[in-house]
Amino acid sequence: DFTAADKLMDTLEKCRRKPRKVTPSEPLYVGVDLGTAYIVVVAVNAKKQPVACAMRFAQVVKDGLIVDYTGGLRIVRELTQELEEKLGRKLEKAAIAVPPGTSERDCATHRHVAEGAGYQVTALLDEPTAANSVLNVRDGAIVDIGGGTTGIAVLEDGKVVYVADEATGGTHVSLVLAGNYDISFEEAEDLKKDKARQKEILPVVRPVIEKMGSIIHRHVQGRNVSALYLVGGTCCLPGMEEVIQKYTGVPTFKPANPFLVTPLGIALNC
């Protein structure tokens, strides 16, 4: 039942377009998400309601590691400034998240980006745990398909007990579209997000989605996984859940808006 998650994501989508009003003194908490495709900054209030969100397409992270530190820092600074101007408030505290298994050194780099943008970092968590703060799954697997990778986190009793992350994500979907339609990568990114054409492109990108299905299948087979829960921008594609369910044989669900679940979850842990 995604009712609560869907409501939260709906509020997030609204405040992405128009930030909610905040008082000059109420505490605000931020989540900074450095992804392969997007850098996202989300602010929530003390009631854990999203109040503002800003994001930018950026390629400063590869395989969960920051490859362009200065670029990342500049974008987080700019997004923060944008939110501060819109809210008329300074943002001070932030939580950050990294893929499970990230080394201490790479965690420190993530932290330095947030600190460099002026934040006091109050929490560093792993991405599936962040996503699960929104979804509240007790048992099953959260599958996060972002720009670069398909991440799988198996949960038992609400705790992450197994994780895996493999290359194949939205970037691969766009590359296949670019090749098939003889268009640039940027045009393919737009085509992929065009609601009017998503039905038409599904058969073209089906092999990539099946590849994601095979990755998921390999990691969940033999484990006690009764359901898959999809998050991440790539899961916005209508029909994803059916292809993955068919491929893995595991009942597959997704919230109405799977994009930005992780960034919001990070902010909820600040």
Judged by CB, which is closer to ligand ATP: 192, or 219? 192
- CA-atom Rg of the chain in angstroms: 18
Judged by CB, which is closer to ligand ATP: 89, or 219? 219
Contact with ligand ATP (CB under 6 A) among 131, 236, 250, 266: 236
Contact with ligand ATP (CB under 6 A) among 31, 50, 146, 213: 146
Tokens of 259: 């994009």
Does position 257 interact with ligand ATP (CB under 6 A)? The reply is no
Of 172, 198, 196, nearest to 185 by C-alpha is 172
Output helix, strand, coil percentages for the chain, rounded to the nearest 5: 45, 25, 30
Does position 247 interact with ligand ATP (CB under 6 A)? The reply is no
| Residues within window 166-205 making contact with ligand ATP, judged by CB under 6 A | 169-171, 189, 192-193
Judged by CB, which is closer to ligand ATP: 42, or 250? 42
Considering the complex, what minimum distance in angstroms separates the CB of residue 54 from ligand ATP?
A: 13
Does position 147 interact with ligand ATP (CB under 6 A)? The reply is yes
Does position 237 interact with ligand ATP (CB under 6 A)? The reply is yes
Considering the complex, what minimum distance in angstroms separates the CB of residue 64 from ligand ATP?
A: 6
Considering the complex, what minimum distance in angstroms separates the CB of residue 149 from ligand ATP?
A: 5
Side chain identity, residue 89: R
Judged by CB, which is closer to ligand ATP: 80, or 89? 80
DSSP state of 13: H
Q: Which stretch binds ligand ATP (CB under 6 A): 20-28, 34-42, 107-115, 211-219?
A: 34-42
3 state DSSP class of 6: helix
Considering the complex, what minimum distance in angstroms separates the CB of residue 147 from ligand ATP?
A: 4
Tokens of 164: 């895996």
Of 255, 233, 268, 270, nearest to 55 by C-alpha is 233
Side chain identity, residue 239: G
Side chain identity, residue 81: Q
CA angle centred on 110, ends 84 and 148, rounded to 5°: 100
Contact with ligand ATP (CB under 6 A) among 8, 32, 37, 113: 37
Count of residues binding ligand ATP (CB under 6 A)?
22
Of 89, 66, 47, 95, nearest to 265 by C-alpha is 95
Per the CB < 8 A criterion, the answer to whether 247 and 210 are in contact is yes
Does position 128 interact with ligand ATP (CB under 6 A)? The reply is no
Considering the complex, what minimum distance in angstroms separates the CB of residue 263 from ligand ATP?
A: 8
For β-strands 228-231 and 38-45, DSSP reports them as: unpaired
Contact with ligand ATP (CB under 6 A) among 234, 248, 252, 269: 234
Per the CB < 8 A criterion, the answer to whether 188 and 181 are in contact is yes
CA angle centred on 233, ends 69 and 146, rounded to 5°: 50
Given the rule CB under 6 A, which residues bind ligand ATP?
A: 35-38, 61, 144, 146-149, 169-171, 189, 192-193, 232-234, 236-237, 259
